[in-house]
Chains A and B, each alone.
Chain A
Amino acid sequence: MLEDGSHKFPLFYFFRRQEMSLKENITSVRTFFLWIPRESIIHKLHPITKIILMLSLGSSIFILSNPIKIFFILIISAILLIISRIPIKMIWKFILASTGMISACVIAWMLFSIEAGSTIYFEKYIEIIPNKWIWHIYITENTIFKSLLIGIKIISMILVTILFLTTMRDREFIYGLRKMHIPFPLCLATSLTFRAMYIFRQDYQTVKEAMMSRGVDFKTISIPKKIIQFSRLFIPILTLLFKRAQEMTLGVEARGIPLRGGKYSLYHDIPIKKIDYVFILSIFLILLLIFYLPLS
């Protein structure tokens, strides 16, 4: 159990545990992402290549509706993860930590959707409010098929996210965006969001500790009391949030960084290498092949 209270939020807790268990792998370069330094081809790719990789794989998962085709994407993501030498243990932990979310989505689809099908496996009417709201549970072969599709889509998305977060540093991401000529205010806003999240996390932690030192025991109080106490946290947090927002605006303005117009140069110059072209081309060809595979 972690002292920062992150164990209350399973996914956040998981991320924190990861930080701890990966301690030996992390160099002194801390990043907002879950970057793991490894000597792999994926790590050495240009940030633009990594962004394109993530976007193309991620959007394919959204667009495709054939489970076999999505399974291919899942395989590609898994291969890329293996090439990037990310510990398998970590990938499993991610999937296990997301099991709740995957199961909830699959079950919700089964219970709340009505999919027409030739075989009805289960059907039941439950009167929640008499004559007003009747819950109709209707499970056919199509319901099961779509539930599984959702499940496999989520797992694939998790793998792509791990690939992205573990092989790329936040600063590389910002550089990639700028190199892609994304408008500067948008890049700055992304960077500021990372900074603000860090500051917010620190403030939240301190405010919670301040409350604990006044006798509030978040572990032992009842759920209604817990809700009241958490709502109290918002008074100082909102005050600090407004103050921080104002201070950060002052900070940016004081730096004299014009958001619009004018020419600018880039400090870093990471060359796009042959391997980047090979990766981008290969991934596009593979995706094209998957999209046009004659599968019904």
Chain B
Amino acid sequence: MSIIDIKNFYWKYLGSKDYALKNINLKIEKGEFIGIMGPTGAGKSTLCLAIAGLIPWVLPGEIKGDVIIDGMNTRKYSMKDITKKVGIVFQDPEIQFIMMSVEDEIAIGLERMNLSREEMIKRVDWALDIVGMKEYKDVSPEELSGGQKQRVAIATMLAKQPEILVLDEPTSDLDPKGKMEVFSVISNLRKEFDTTIIMATHESEKILKFADKIIVLNKGNKILEDYPEKIFSKIDELKSIGIRPPQIIEVCNKLGCGTVLTIEEAEKVLNKKFSLKNKEHYQKIDFLKNNRKPVIEVQNVSYIYPNGFKALENVNLTIYEKDYIAIIGQNGSGKTTLAKHFNGILKPSNGRVLVYGMDTRKTPISEIAKKVGYCFQNPDHQIFSNSVEEEIAFGLKQIGLSKKEIEKKVSEILKIVGLEEYRYEDPSFLGKGQRQRLAVASILALEPKILVVDEPTTGQDYAMIKDLMNLLTNLNNKGNTIIIITHDMQIAAEYTKRIIIMRNGRIVADDTPLRIFSNLELLSENDLEAPQITQLSIRLGFIALNNEDFIKIIKRE
């Protein structure tokens, strides 16, 4: 008997017009690792919530069909019974914490199971040991980094020893090291306890490595269910619905080498098929050497947060006009703190920041905002108005433009970001990708010469990422300076022209993507990794940062 059996399952959220899941049929065996993929809004989270019993017990809506967990129909058994079998970890671990210390967080679930004190102590230690967080027992969850929080969230579920662990995009906010940590913890779990794992994710390269089977959802329908290698061989189909296929599979496929899953395998196949000796590096224009005007000068800047945490230490940096920069580094390395100095949101504790020669400590933020736009990671933090039009006009009113000018500007911007048809809509009714574009649009309206975008790709599907990155690239081509903060190495390598690596509040490297991503030692020292395609190209004796360059070099006679 399958441990999870979903039969003709439909779910419609209260107040929603359409079903979020339509006629889902699925059987999952004990100990399997199932990946759930699909574009934003495909129904991935809804399926996770249904398996965890939160649908129909907590969320209101209309249900048809059945979800049977180890013989228990989730419509008939209570949450108390279901949670004994299933544990769920959400994308944002923050919302799952209810206690004030890591050990209490894990213990609270065990206390309600009425276990003996000795058993609880044993399980808390064991769960923390498995996720490598034993030394953080007494720490408040607020003090942990994103990756650590996620590991604690997993430990809270592990301690209860559920047979099924559901993870809803658990790695989307994490740096490469954090992502790897989460995947390896889950992999160990399977080996040791035969736990059934169900994970919704956009991480195609990682899921390919770990999952037994992948389910692809689109608009609430299950459109594919197969082994990872078979799923990812359907490259065009995946790309058309907004799923980013692993770079190696895509490249090998385009080069006529069939479906190749690992870097090692790809190296062998490509060496056999092509003559790869004396291939030259694909050389991008070296932007750092160009003589361009400095627009932001960070001079000996240190920053200490009110709680005493030193987030930046003696940072020196010059950003030039037309730069296209990616700031990368681990969670908590100081990337966002540094970027918040660029438009004066934060003022240095020591040193100074000059924006077009203006000292941010002495210049009103309204003046700096005209030059530097800052787009926050979560669009919900920056939408203040009741219509798309008003939202874009908001900043324009602050800088004192006339009604006529505002009207003209709003129309122009809406056209650029492709939101014209939503002009009078309430922003809360837009999808996440559209809200993200609206957030960028409202900043663009101020015509800043410099645009800072914090984590533009988090939780977004491939189509949305591509849309946004193309928009930023166009702006850069028109002369704007673009600075993105990202954990997505593939995006950084593919789109930007300069990479800054941060670690412990300091800049440890500042160079072209080519030099940064070819320095595997530097990346490893900073717990980062090069895109898969770059790793492969290095093994083959050249350097390529994206699929197109790679294919171009291979095919070059």
- A residues with a Cβ closer than 8 A to B are 2-4, 6, 16, 19-20, 23, 26, 28-32, 169-171, 174, 188, 191-192, 194-195, 198-199, 203, 206-207, 209-217, 219-220, 232-233, 235-236, 239-240, 243-244, 247-258, 262-269
Contacts and interface: CB of A to CB of B under 8 A. Distances in A.
Contacts of A268: 104, 107
B214 interface: no
A20 B310 CA distance: 12
Contacts of A26: 308
A253 B79 contact: yes
Given A236-B384, A266-B111, A214 B442 contact: yes
A213 B443 contact: yes
11 contacts: A3-B306, A3-B346, A192-B98, A213-B373, A236-B383, A247-B92, A251-B96, A254-B96, A255-B98, A256-B84, A257-B108
Contacts of B58: 249-250, 253
Contacts of B369: 212-215
A105 B340 CA distance: 41
Contact of A20 (B88, B107, B308): B308
A239 B120 contact: no
B381 A240 contact: yes
Nearest to B347: A3
Which one of B143, B156, B376, B381 has the highest number of Cβ atoms from chain A below 10 Å of its Cβ? B381
Contacts of B398: 214-216
B103 A267 contact: yes
Contacts, number: 200
Interface string B357-396: 0000000111001101110101011111110000000110
A30 B98 contact: no
B215 to A, nearest CB: 21
A219 B99 contact: no
Contacts of A19: 306-308
Nearest to B114: A263
B111 A20 contact: no
B124 interface: yes
Contacts of A30: 139-140, 142-143, 307
Given A171-B104, A215-B366, A219-B364, A210 B382 contact: yes
Given A30-B143, A195-B98, A257 B112 contact: yes
Contacts of B94: 199
B364 A258 contact: no
Interface in B305-320: 306-308
Interface residues of B, number: 80
Nearest to A194: B100
Given A256-B79, A266-B117, A16 B143 contact: no
Contacts of A20: 306-308
Given A236-B382, A266-B111, A215 B90 contact: no
B162 to A, nearest CB: 9
B107 A256 contact: no
Contacts of A192: 98
Contacts of A211: 382, 384
A219 B90 CA distance: 38
Which one of B140, B345, B374, B443 has the highest number of Cβ atoms from chain A below 10 Å of its Cβ? B140
A267 B54 CA distance: 27
Given A30-B140, A236-B380, A266-B117, 13 more contacts: A3-B346, A210-B382, A214-B442, A236-B383, A243-B380, A244-B95, A247-B90, A250-B49, A251-B96, A254-B88, A255-B109, A256-B79, A264-B114
Given A28-B139, A213-B369, A213-B373, A191 B90 contact: no
Contacts of A194: 100
B428 A239 contact: yes
Contact of A250 (B90, B110, B340, B399): B90
B116 interface: yes
Nearest to A234: B384
A244 B111 CA distance: 25
Nearest to A19: B307
Majority DSSP secondary structure for residues of A touching B: helix
Contacts of B340: 209
A6 B305 CA distance: 12
Interface string B77-95: 0011011100110101011
Contacts of A244: 95
B110 A235 contact: no
B138 A29 contact: yes
Interface string B427-441: 010000000000000
Nearest to B141: A195
Which one of B59, B95, B142 has the highest number of Cβ atoms from chain A below 10 Å of its Cβ? B95
B117 A265 contact: yes
Contacts of B80: 256, 258
B126 interface: no
Contacts of A257: 98, 108-109, 112
Contacts of B124: 267
A171 B99 contact: yes
Contacts of B385: 232, 235
A215 B365 contact: yes
A23 B84 CA distance: 43
B257 interface: no
B101 A171 contact: yes
B11 to A, nearest CB: 15
Which one of B98, B156, B442 has the highest number of Cβ atoms from chain A below 10 Å of its Cβ? B98
Nearest to A259: B112
Contact of B109 (A198, A216, A256): A256
B109 A253 contact: no
List 10 tightest A-B contacts by C-beta distance, closest first: A256-B83, A267-B107, A23-B308, A215-B398, A210-B382, A213-B374, A215-B369, A251-B96, A247-B95, A171-B100
A31 B140 contact: yes
B111 A264 contact: yes
Interface string B107-149: 1111111111100110010000000000000111011000000
